[in-house]
């Protein structure tokens, strides 16, 4: 039994950000620029990295369930991938700094993400 399965992550995320929050991954190449890999409104939760007041870096941990399109995440998810979190009318952009499996085998991924400079923007433009 996965303790942090998609249902549990959805409950945690919905309580904080509402049901319409989304997570989108992008790949960036010199030839094509930025292109979307996939987007989901299910199976993830994000939380600010625990740090002291003097050491706030803006990093975010994202828990991503294995139930979220694993064939896409296994192939495309890697350090350096761009990820955006859209919630409550705002979009926040990050870069995956580290990628580790969840403690429970086969449960999914824990991504530590660093903010992209000037990454907060209103969703309406």
CA 95 to chain centre: 9
What is the domain-level CATH number for residue 66?
Answer: 2.30.110
Tally of domains in the chain:
1
Q: In 1-107, which ranges are E strands? A: 22-29, 33-40, 44-48, 60-65, 82-87, 90-101
- Please check whether residue 73 lies inside any domain of the structure: yes
- Please check whether residue 43 lies inside any domain of the structure: yes
* Residue 4: pLDDT over 60: yes
Name the residue range of residue 43's domain.
6-120
**Please, which pLDDT band fits residue 82 given cuts at 50, 70 and 90?**
very high
Residue 48, strand partner residues: 60
- Please check whether residue 39 lies inside any domain of the structure: yes
- Please check whether residue 86 lies inside any domain of the structure: yes
The chain-wide mean pLDDT, for the chain, equals: 81
pTM of the model: 0.79
How would you list the strands of the sheet with 108-122, edge to edge? 33-40, 22-29, 82-87, 90-101, 108-122, 60-65, 44-48
| Residues 106-119: tens digit of each pLDDT | 678 889 999 987 55
Helices assigned H by DSSP within the chain: 6-17, 70-76
Residue 26, strand partner residues: 36, 82
What does the pLDDT read at residue 124?
A: 42
Instruction: Provide φ and ψ at 58, rounded to 5°.
Output: 80, 5
What does the pLDDT read at residue 74?
A: 61
| Residues 5-22: tens digit of each pLDDT | 889 899 999 999 998 999
- Please check whether residue 125 lies inside any domain of the structure: no
Read off the tokens for 16. 């904080």
Distance separating alpha carbons of residues 1 and 105, to the nearest angstrom: 10
* DSSP state, residue 123: T
- Please check whether residue 32 lies inside any domain of the structure: yes
Distance separating alpha carbons of residues 39 and 71, to the nearest angstrom: 14
- Please check whether residue 89 lies inside any domain of the structure: yes
């Amino acid at each position: 039994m996965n303790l942090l399965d998609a249902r549990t992550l959805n409950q945690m995320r919905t309580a904080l950000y509402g049901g319409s929050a989304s997570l989108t991954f992008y790949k960036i190449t010199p030839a094509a620029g930025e292109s979307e890999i996939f987007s989901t409104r299910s199976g993830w939760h994000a939380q600010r990295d625990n740090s002291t007041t003097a050491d706030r870096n803006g990093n975010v941990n994202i828990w991503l369930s294995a139930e979220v399109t694993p064939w896409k995440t296994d192939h495309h998810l890697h350090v350096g991938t761009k990820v955006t979190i859209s919630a409550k009318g705002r979009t926040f952009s990050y870069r995956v700094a580290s990628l580790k499996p969840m403690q429970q085998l086969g449960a999914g991924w824990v991504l530590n993400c660093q903010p992209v400079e000037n990454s907060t923007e209103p969703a309406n433009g």
